Amino acid sequence: MIPFFACLLLMLIGLYAVVTKRNIIRIIIGFSLVEYAVNLLFALIGFKRDALPPIITNAAQTRNFVDPVPQALVLTAIVIGLATTALMLALAMRIYEKYRTFDITEVRRLRG
Amino acid sequence: MDSTFIPFFVVLPMLAAFLIPLLAKLWQGTSDLIANAVGAALFGLSAYGAVYLYTDSPALVYRMGGWVPTLGITLVYDHLTALVTLAINTVGLAALLFSVRYLDHYTGRWKFYSLFMLVLAGLNGVAITGDMFNLFVFIEISAVASYALVAFGTDFDELEAGFKYMVIGEIGGTAVLLAIALLYAKASTLNMAVVSQVLAGFGHTPLFWFILATFLVGFAVKMALVPFHAWLPDAHPSAPAPVSALLSGVFIKVLGVYAMSRVVFNVFGLSRANAPSFFNLLIGFGVLSIVAGGLLAYAQKDYKRLLAYSSVSQIGYILIGLGIGNYWGVVGALFHLLAHALGKGLLFLASGSVEQGAGTRELDKLSGLETKMPATVWSHLLGALSLAGVPPFAGFFSKLFLIIGAISARMYWLAILAAVFSTVTLAYLVKVANQAFFARRDREPTQAKEAPATMIAAMLFLLVLAVLVGIGFKPALDKLVGPAANVLLNGLGYAKGVLGG
């Protein structure tokens, strides 16, 4: 169970960074931490101790395999994460060009 | 009936999203043409599907690549999907038609259409998928494209709203992914139908509720329930008007309400009978959203921001309908999903028309638009009547059904609240009319010119549909909304329909 709680802790650290940090880049890093924690948790779900890689060479061989589905899903999730991180950084660059700062407390024109 | 038409809901807009950048340079109007053609095709496809699906016909199932369930991804087209895709593609078509002239003051026309097509592909994908992870992928496709569209103007406000929206929205998306991971750990499968059968054997353990709570957080962020709503009043007004119409009209409902109700009713198999406290929680969130959203909307001075808060409030109505959980409650919720999609889509298009015609959307600076742009003003007024629930428009029947549901569940205070806040809805929409549309003695009429013909046509299209759904509420109820509500109330029967076919 310990690795699962470690994942949860990593996620909470990321969330903490997203909520409390003022620098946009640090917020993005915090978000990446959350995402990595979830991906790691997903990969851990498929893990079994002392199991073989899920490559079946002999159909009669029904040994203990690692579940390959979470690995495939995590690959997809990582690609989606790449897209979101890239877009976030692109937005951060445009915000810097406009506001001349990465401080989120100064990027605050919308109210009400 | 043949189910091969189902994948085209995703294939067509996805293809267009990548064709538009390739062909945009050929001729100036290429991107307009492709986008509107695909929008019309999608609308035709969803109308065809909705008409073809008989009232008592089972769900249509398409197996991707011919793989059997648990191995491959299944696409499911049942009455609920038919209702939701119809709402998506109706508002989508109107928004695309509106964009043709509205984009005149933006650059990068093909980029806009390409992103818009990706949003449509994601929304339709969320509606038709029968697989948990596929649901997440489509949620992210539409969400990522929508972040870019919110920031499309790349000015101060748009960038701020886009970044805020993106961070909060992605936290919600990650919560959904976490819930899917835990669900997979428990059920060892991703097919919604099979998951629901496995979950039925587990009972309501703490882990069951934890997974459900994680899903609820994710979807609550996507649908902007109070207290997860902070991004919406920034993001929806900052987007270009046709995108606001799509985001407020269908995006929050498909990614939030539809995905949540599919998971709660059909995958987790909950109903008012076996989980009353959960449904009371939904009512609580709904009431909070109606009250906070409605009162905050009244205080706004920006036309589009007012409409955005109004969306927060109207989502609350859908939530209390689902929370009431009997037939009329769910029918009211789904009817309101349709009525609000048409009504709010129309109002946001009208706000875009005002912004373009008069050069501002601040209510304090506008006056006497009634004589300058009558078509836009009348679109707003009739749309407002529909949203506030005045017969014979669509919005009247959704609130009527909600109130019938509340009374038959003996929740009289909820019925009273729904009726009272209808008048609040009317109050803030009339406030817009009083301040901006009718002439005021203390102020010169604003210089403005009427919107071009295609923009008026787009508004008229939604207006006619809102009236048609209202006048023809009986066939709409019997053929579309009633069967869709039964899909949800059928609960775990969903699995039999998908796997048996």
Q: Answer yes or no: is pLDDT of B427 > 80.
A: yes
B343-361 confidence digits (pLDDT tens): 999 999 999 999 998 888 8
Asked whether the beta carbons of residue A95 and residue B185 sit closer than 8 angstroms, the reply is: no
Interface contact B454, partner A, CB < 8 A: no
Instruction: List the one residue out of B146, B144, B43 whose CA is nearest residue B87.
Output: B43
**pLDDT for position B450:** 84
**Which residues of A are less than 8 Å from B181 in CB distance?**
38, 41-42, 45, 70
Q: Is residue B132 part of a domain?
A: yes
**Which residues of B are less than 8 Å from A110 in CB distance?**
157, 160-161, 233-234, 238
Q: Which of B133, B171, B302 lies at the smallest CB-CB distance from A34?
A: B171
**pLDDT for position B489:** 93
Q: Which of B159, B185, B190 lies at the smallest CB-CB distance from A98?
A: B159
Q: Answer yes or no: is pLDDT of B1 > 60.
A: no
Asked whether the beta carbons of residue A38 and residue B167 sit closer than 8 angstroms, the reply is: no
Asked whether the beta carbons of residue B167 and residue A27 sit closer than 8 angstroms, the reply is: yes
**pLDDT for position B224:** 93
The top-scoring range by mean pLDDT among A13-17, A43-47, B21-25, B155-159 is: A13-17
Please, which residues 459-498 of chain B have a Cβ atom closer than 8 Å to chain A? none
If you write DSSP's letter for every residue of B392-412 in order, what string do you get?
TSHHHHHHHHHHHHHHHTT-H
Contacts of B94 (CB under 8 A, 6+ apart): B245, B345, B346, B349, B458, B459, B461, B462
Asked whether the beta carbons of residue B302 and residue A112 sit closer than 8 angstroms, the reply is: yes
When pLDDT is cut at 50, 70 and 90, the band that residue B369 belongs to is confident
**pLDDT for position B496:** 87
Q: Which of A18, A77, A108 lies at the smallest CB-CB distance from B167?
A: A18
Q: Is residue B3 part of a domain?
A: no
In this prediction, residues B15-35 reach a mean pLDDT of 91
Residues in chain A whose Cβ is within 8 Å of chain B: 11, 15, 18, 24, 27, 31, 34-35, 38, 41-42, 45, 67, 69-70, 73, 76-77, 80, 83-84, 87-88, 91-92, 94-95, 98-99, 107-110, 112
Q: If DSSP codes are grouped into helix, strand and coil, which group holds residue B239?
A: coil
- How high is the mean pLDDT of chain A? 88
Whether B45 contacts B91, CB under 8 Å: no
B77-95 confidence digits (pLDDT tens): 999 999 999 999 999 999 9
Q: What is d(CA B146, CA B387) in angstroms, rounded to the nearest whole number?
A: 25
The residues that bridge with B60 in the sheet, in sequence order, are B77
pTM above 0.90, yes or no: yes
Q: CA B289, B363, B437: angle at the middle one, nearest 5? A: 105
Contacts of A27 (CB under 8 A, 6+ apart): A17, A18, A21, A104, B167
**pLDDT for position B457:** 95
Asked whether the beta carbons of residue A70 and residue B181 sit closer than 8 angstroms, the reply is: yes
Q: Is residue B1 part of a domain?
A: no
Q: Answer yes or no: is pLDDT of B435 > 90.
A: no
**pLDDT for position B265:** 95
Supply the ipTM of this predicted assembly: 0.94
To test the contact with chain A by mutation, choose from B67, B73, B149, B160 the residue with the greatest count of A C-beta atoms within 10 A, namely: B160
Asked whether the beta carbons of residue A91 and residue B166 sit closer than 8 angstroms, the reply is: yes
Q: Is residue B319 part of a domain?
A: yes
B444-497 confidence digits (pLDDT tens): 777 788 889 999 999 999 999 999 999 988 988 988 999 999 999 998 889 888
Higher pLDDT, A52 or B231: B231
Q: Is residue B227 part of a domain?
A: yes
Q: Is residue B2 part of a domain?
A: no
Least confident of B242-246, B329-333, B438-442: B438-442
Task: Compute the nearest-CA separation of B233 from chain A (Å).
Answer: 8
**pLDDT for position B160:** 93
B298-327 confidence digits (pLDDT tens): 999 999 999 999 999 999 999 999 999 999
To test the contact with chain B by mutation, choose from A24, A35, A87, A103 the residue with the greatest count of B C-beta atoms within 10 A, namely: A87
In this prediction, residues B369-392 reach a mean pLDDT of 89
**pLDDT for position B447:** 79
Task: Compute the nearest-CA separation of A3 from chain B (Å).
Answer: 14
Q: How many CB pairs under 8 A join A and B?
A: 93
B118-127 confidence digits (pLDDT tens): 999 999 999 9
Q: What is d(CA A87, CA B152) in angstroms, rounded to the nearest whole number?
A: 12
When pLDDT is cut at 50, 70 and 90, the band that residue A63 belongs to is low
B222-242 confidence digits (pLDDT tens): 999 989 999 999 999 999 999
Whether A111 contacts B300, CB under 8 Å: no
Total number of domains in chain B: 1
Q: Is residue B100 part of a domain?
A: yes
Asked whether the beta carbons of residue B299 and residue A112 sit closer than 8 angstroms, the reply is: yes
Interface contact B8, partner A, CB < 8 A: no
**pLDDT for position B448:** 80
What is each CA distance from B104 to B146, B356, B470, in whole angstroms? 20, 10, 34
Least confident of B47-56, B183-192, B300-309, B315-324: B47-56
Contacts of B472 (CB under 8 A, 6+ apart): none
Q: What is d(CA B160, CA A95) in angstroms, rounded to the nearest whole number?
A: 7
Task: Compute the nearest-CA separation of A59 from chain B (Å).
Answer: 18
**pLDDT for position A59:** 64
**Which residues of A are less than 8 Å from B147 in CB distance?**
87, 91
Q: What is d(CA A17, CA A23) in angstroms, rounded to the nearest whole number?
A: 10
Q: Which of B174, B233, B302 lies at the smallest CB-CB distance from A34?
A: B174
Interface contact B209, partner A, CB < 8 A: no
Q: What is d(CA B268, CA B209) in angstroms, rounded to the nearest whole number?
A: 10
A84-95 confidence digits (pLDDT tens): 999 999 999 999
Q: Answer yes or no: is pLDDT of A47 > 60.
A: yes
Q: How far is CA B394 from the centre of its chain?
A: 16
In this prediction, residues B151-179 reach a mean pLDDT of 94
- How high is the mean pLDDT of chain B? 92
Q: Answer yes or no: is pLDDT of A57 > 60.
A: yes
Range of B44's domain? 8-500
**Domains along the sequence of chain A with CATH:** 2-54+63-106 (1.10.287.3510)
Percent of chain A beyond pLDDT 90?
62
Q: Answer yes or no: is pLDDT of B29 > 60.
A: yes
**pLDDT for position A60:** 61
Read off the tokens for B322: 């689902």
Task: Compute the nearest-CA separation of B234 from chain A (Å).
Answer: 7
Q: What is d(CA B359, CA B31) in angstroms, rounded to the nearest whole number?
A: 26
**pLDDT for position A108:** 82
**pLDDT for position A62:** 64
